Amino acid sequence: MLSKESIKVENIFAKVKTFKMFSTTYRNRRKRFGLRMNLIAGIINRELGF
């Protein structure tokens, strides 16, 4: 049961890391980091059907 959840989480992390912002050091303004992170999370949630 726990292993199934772990696999789901790992797959979500893999999807998140396809965005360069999360796979490297963030070098833009901190002011907009939260906005960009929320937008990317929204895109991923929509793809996954959450």
- Could you tell me the pTM of the whole model? 0.59
Q: What's the pLDDT tens digit per position in 17-30?
A: 887 777 788 787 88
Q: In terms of residue numbers, what domain contains 13?
A: 2-48
| Tens of pLDDT, residue by residue, the chain (50 residues) | 788 888 888 888 888 888 777 778 878 788 888 898 898 889 888 988 87
Cα torsion at 7, 9, 10, 12 (round to 10°)?
Answer: 120
Geometric angle at alpha carbon 7, from 6 and 11, rounded to 5°: 120
Number of domains, the chain? 1
Residue given tokens 């797959």 in the structure block: 11
Structure-block tokens of residue 4: 């199934």
Closest CA to 32 of 21, 24, 19: 21
